[in-house]
Chains A and B, each alone.
Chain A
């Protein structure tokens, strides 16, 4: 875990209101694993840090994906090259590739692309054939960037690819990795109990001490999305108790 004063090096639009921000964070770039995240603060900004999956690594730079959903993310998006953010990471327990899977299907919904690129590249490096299923509301909401051997698009309105959900559009595979809204992940759990899913929760510290990011477990009790998660075996989560949408905070 490193605390890096990270210089912003770039920003690009990848879907409607969805941006990739690039920052210079060498210690994190060289140690992050697929599915891990960083907890970021900026000034002026909210009091608590905000968690972001690491989307890509490029040399000493890491990338995150965000959507302009509130004042906080608008502040982050208004920053320009050379501005600095405080970046804590890499955090959490990421995807596991185990021994011997020959095929993987990656299912992402909306911003869920954020934890998929590193996973796709890791899988490819292990000789796994990767099918990535991108889901979003409409064509405009689909991330324009992707990775993997095969691509499937799914939109709620049918404006691109298959009409319907990414989960419905996905083929079976030896390994299923998913990231997206928790409702989507609950559907993943119903179809593939053994899938690995990266959940979204409210988060405080990101380091395991505040216990704010509680994930309810089927076996009872809670553990921490920031430490034992954010990646879980889909069937381990009590989906009925995990909040399905996050109106992130009372203030930006």
Chain B
């Protein structure tokens, strides 16, 4: 079940997606053998309290969230979580955030070399922060500048998590590839809104939120596929994966690995079930690894 994401070999094709797995210490029910890796909750240099409630609302086959990247800041992450990660048998990527390219760079420099930190997922796609976030993700020059700033401060793998809120994801994908990204993660949540008809105002205090869950899966498969067609580096597919079949769609559409997110909220064993389902699918077809799957990836 192992896959190669650039120079990094994962023991399985499934990672826990950022923001859906905390810092990896909160999930007692998951069989960890199923984890190819994990991406931490997004972190900034400094602690952030996040947005006021309500922060989540369920929508058809999905949910909107506006957590606002609540987190303890990088020093607490290094003190409280990284030592645990260093003992685990799968790599932990840190989802990094900043309000400027310089902040991303400073965060990377602080985390580089910390035992337990296996690599970076640059978040240029969070819709729920006032500064930074999406701004970097929908401008190819800004996206490249952040990627370059991070790249220059680490030799660990650098992944870039892309936003779907762009007119051509291939443009952003190529820009961050050229700036030195090792892989792309496609995609983050879509920006959405839900209205409370009793209050005549948005249900979320932040007004808008990021839409995740099965509702976005066909959109995500398409965008991950478009990103994969645009670049030579690996693409990690994300968006509404709840079953092995969902994950396999991303793999066949050109992804090297996948991340499972919102499904974990619903089913704490989702990652293990996706893992076992992929193994069964491959076994039934005489394929020995996810890399042997036929790909639908016509080159542009």
Measured between alpha carbons, how far is A241 from B29 in the docked complex, in Å? Answer: 33
Min CB–CB distance A213 → chain B (angstroms): 8
Measured between alpha carbons, how far is A222 from B70 in the docked complex, in Å? Answer: 9
Measured between alpha carbons, how far is A247 from B26 in the docked complex, in Å? Answer: 28
Instruction: Please tell me if B65 contacts chain A, counting CB pairs below 8 Å.
Output: yes
Q: Which residues of B contact A2 (CB under 8 A)?
A: 29
Contact partner of B58 (CB less than 8 A), chosen from A48, A88, A209, is A48
Question: Contact between B60 and A3 (Cβ–Cβ < 8 Å)?
Answer: no
Question: Contact between B266 and A49 (Cβ–Cβ < 8 Å)?
Answer: yes
Instruction: Please tell me if B20 contacts chain A, counting CB pairs below 8 Å.
Output: yes
Given the contacts A48-B266, A202-B56, A243-B53, A250 and B70 also touching, CB distance less than 8 Å = no
Question: Contact between B266 and A41 (Cβ–Cβ < 8 Å)?
Answer: yes
Instruction: Please tell me if B218 contacts chain A, counting CB pairs below 8 Å.
Output: no
Question: Contact between A209 and B264 (Cβ–Cβ < 8 Å)?
Answer: yes
Contact partner of A250 (CB less than 8 A), chosen from B41, B57, B266, is B57
Question: Contact between A209 and B22 (Cβ–Cβ < 8 Å)?
Answer: yes
Instruction: Please tell me if B62 contacts chain A, counting CB pairs below 8 Å.
Output: yes
Measured between alpha carbons, how far is A212 from B58 in the docked complex, in Å? Answer: 11
Instruction: Please tell me if A74 contacts chain B, counting CB pairs below 8 Å.
Output: no
For window 103-147 of chain B, which residues contact chain A by CB distance below 8 Å? none
Instruction: Please tell me if B213 contacts chain A, counting CB pairs below 8 Å.
Output: yes
Given the contacts A202-B56, A211-B70, A250-B58, A221 and B265 also touching, CB distance less than 8 Å = no
Q: Which residues of A contact B266 (CB under 8 A)?
A: 41, 47-49, 205
Category for how many chain A residues contact B: 35 or more
Instruction: Please tell me if B52 contacts chain A, counting CB pairs below 8 Å.
Output: yes
For window 262-276 of chain B, which residues contact chain A by CB distance below 8 Å? 264-269
Q: Which residues of A contact B51 (CB under 8 A)?
A: 214
Measured between alpha carbons, how far is A246 from B28 in the docked complex, in Å? Answer: 29
For window 19-76 of chain A, which residues contact chain B by CB distance below 8 Å? 41, 46-49
User: How many A-B contacts if CB must be within 8 Å?
Assistant: 112
Question: Contact between B57 and A249 (Cβ–Cβ < 8 Å)?
Answer: yes
Instruction: Please tell me if B203 contacts chain A, counting CB pairs below 8 Å.
Output: yes
Measured between alpha carbons, how far is A179 from B264 in the docked complex, in Å? Answer: 29
Instruction: Please tell me if A204 contacts chain B, counting CB pairs below 8 Å.
Output: yes
Question: Contact between B26 and A208 (Cβ–Cβ < 8 Å)?
Answer: yes
Question: Contact between A212 and B21 (Cβ–Cβ < 8 Å)?
Answer: no
Question: Contact between B67 and A1 (Cβ–Cβ < 8 Å)?
Answer: no
Question: Contact between A251 and B58 (Cβ–Cβ < 8 Å)?
Answer: yes
CB-CB nearest in chain A for B62: A47
Instruction: Please tell me if A201 contacts chain B, counting CB pairs below 8 Å.
Output: yes
Question: Contact between B20 and A247 (Cβ–Cβ < 8 Å)?
Answer: no
Q: Which residues of B contact A126 (CB under 8 A)?
A: none
Q: Contacts A3-B29, A46-B58 known; list 15 others, CB within 8 Å.
A: A1-B29, A47-B214, A86-B267, A88-B268, A207-B26, A207-B268, A210-B67, A214-B50, A216-B53, A246-B54, A247-B198, A249-B58, A250-B194, A251-B58, A251-B59
> Can you spell out 23 A-B residue pairs with CB atoms less than 8 angstroms apart?
A1-B29, A47-B62, A47-B213, A48-B58, A48-B63, A201-B53, A202-B53, A202-B55, A205-B265, A208-B22, A209-B20, A209-B41, A209-B264, A210-B19, A213-B53, A215-B53, A221-B49, A222-B50, A241-B52, A243-B53, A249-B58, A250-B59, A251-B58
Nearest 10 pairs of A and B residues by beta carbon: A212-B56, A249-B58, A205-B265, A209-B22, A221-B49, A208-B26, A250-B194, A214-B53, A211-B67, A204-B265
